[in-house]
Amino acid sequence: MKNRIYTLILLIGVISLQSCDQDFEELNVDPTKTTEMDLSYKFPSAVLYVSGQRYESWRANLIYSSTMIQHIANTETYWSGDKYLLNTAYAEAFWTAMYPQAIKSIEDMKYGLEQMGDSTSVDYAIVNTLGVYQYQKITDLYGDVPYSEAGKAFIDKDFRPVYDKQEDIYADMLNTLEQSVEIFETGGTSSLGSADILFEGDVNKWRKWANSLMLRLAMRMTKVDETAAQEWAQKAIEGGVMESNDDIAYVVHEEGNGIVQNGNGETFTADGTPRMSDTFIEFLQDDPRLTIYSSLPEDTGEEDANGDPILRSEEERLDPDAQIGLPNGLDGSMLRELTGETDTQDYSEPNRLYMTSEAAPMFFQTYAEVEFMLAEAAFRWGIAGGDAEAHYNAGVRAAMNYLELYSPNAAISEAEIDEYLEDNAYAEEDALEQINTQYWAATFLNEIESYSNWRRSGYPDLTPVNYPGNVTNGTIPRRLTYMTSEQSTNAENYNAAVQSQGPDLLTTRIWWDVE
């Protein structure tokens, strides 16, 4: 089990980065003087910024990504992704949070290592691997974004970075991962030790994660450049990807203040209205994950004779027969018209007992995801041993077994998994739909990844909503819109990106997202 996040992060690492705000022009002002500061103080903070805080977790991961692919539903209109409405402040939230925090931190560490002539070390490869993970999330949400010039303005004083084409970003990220793997394979060691709150300095696990990220990048390209996708997938597999749940890339969080908390958990505590989508609840019928992912709210919304709230017991909250999903695309008046109900207290919520506390772990990439990608690679190209069924089965098993990392109460027995696989056996004729629908289920709460893989694969086959006034003509959005201030503060590069990629709309498809 990983070490707990230590107080040193709060005393030094976080303090050094708290001066960052959400103004993109300020992201490159260097208040920390990296070369004068030990990497072990900066790295944990960077990882926690990558994991995400309430601000961007709520707006990008949940309000938009989760509701658009129908893991979560909400009747409140500020949950705009549920209804395909454009809230520019929410759509740009991941951008405004991650560039001045996570990206700045990563580029700052890279610059410091380069200044010390340390650009071929294991530590440099670790920072680069973390950077690829974070840049992929940004480009997958927005498309063409600042990349080659991101985080560099405190060096060259250029506060208006160009937007790199997503195709070029992907090519560079793949090469970066390849170089990082080569460094990991040399047998060097990391200086981070316990400051590496992902893998505690285990270089072999970093190698597996770098290759697993390479596989993720490769599979994202299947529709736009299948030849390259297969070549990079083969390279990743030969280099060695995750082999068990022991290799999962995840962060252990703690209850407290600031970035030590799980950003999703902060959101669910602050906003008590998210409900499980009926699409997802329907999928989870006869699935042992149902009452691990889902529970009824503790508060029934009713009061007793004394005016005190009537609360459900834990047994009542976890009753599988009582789990009800909320349809997507409704507001309060539409719910009343449809059901006669005035609140959503009888609808299931993401499980607050096991999975959505402030101390819940945050998963960057799981072994289950890797196995599902291997299953698709085997089906498409006959690689990864050529046995798609074996990888599919391993993916389902891993997706259920890893849930005990949330809570011992979330453990699923091998007998339950065996029964599920018997009832949901791999079928060659439905392989891509089966594999990617299971991927969608396994990435619950890692919604940006789930949304990206849905756009790439088209599975599961979701029925869009058509809420009045939506801006997509009743189609599920394909990207999020850029930070609005870029239209004035970085107009030349913003306009060039729009000219290259297409209008800055929710409906514009990014490079790898082709019909």
pLDDT of 23 > 80? The answer is no
Average pLDDT of every residue of the chain: 93
pLDDT band at 67 (very low <50, low <70, confident <90, very high): very high
Q: How confident is the model at residue 256 (pLDDT cuts 50, 70, 90)?
A: confident
Q: How confident is the model at residue 153 (pLDDT cuts 50, 70, 90)?
A: low
Quick one: pLDDT at residue 6? 44
- 417-457, pLDDT tens digit by residue? 999 999 999 999 999 999 999 999 999 999 999 999 999 99
DSSP string for residues in 383-448:
-GGG-HHHHHHHHHHHHHHGGGGT-GGG---HHHHHHHHHHT---GGGHHHHHHHHHHHHTTT-HH
**pLDDT at residue 2 greater than cutoff 80:** no
pLDDT of residue 195: 97
The 10s digit of each residue's pLDDT in 296-341 is 999 999 999 999 999 999 999 999 999 999 999 999 999 999 999 9
What's the average model confidence in pLDDT over 235-243?
A: 98
Give 101-147 pLDDT, tens digit per residue: 999 999 999 999 999 999 999 999 999 999 999 999 999 999 999 99
Q: Is the pLDDT of residue 35 over 60?
A: no
Q: What pLDDT, on the 0 to 100 scale, is given for residue 31?
A: 41
Is residue 12 over pLDDT 80?
no
* Percentage of the residues of the chain whose pLDDT score is greater than 70: 92
pLDDT at 156 over 70: no
Does the structure show a pLDDT above 50 at 206?
yes
Band of residue 10 on the pLDDT scale cut at 50, 70, 90: very low
Averaged pLDDT, 485-512? 97
**pLDDT for 246 beyond 90:** yes
- The pLDDT of residue 154 is 60
What pLDDT, on the 0 to 100 scale, is given for residue 169?
A: 98
Kindly state the average pLDDT of the residues 269-293.
97
Report, as an integer, the average pLDDT of 5-26.
41
What is the greatest pairwise CA distance in the chain?
72
Joined together, the tokens standing for residue 273 give: 């209205």
pLDDT digits (tens, 9 = 90+) for 170-193: 999 999 999 999 999 998 999 999
Single out the residue of 288, 199, 188, 293 nearest to residue 247, CA to CA. Answer: 199
Please report the pLDDT score of residue 38 as a whole number. Answer: 85
With a cut of 90, say whether residue 17 has pLDDT above it: no
pLDDT score of 8: 40
Q: What tokens were used for 195?
A: 């400051």
Mode of pairing for the β-strands spanning 275-276 and 72-73: antiparallel
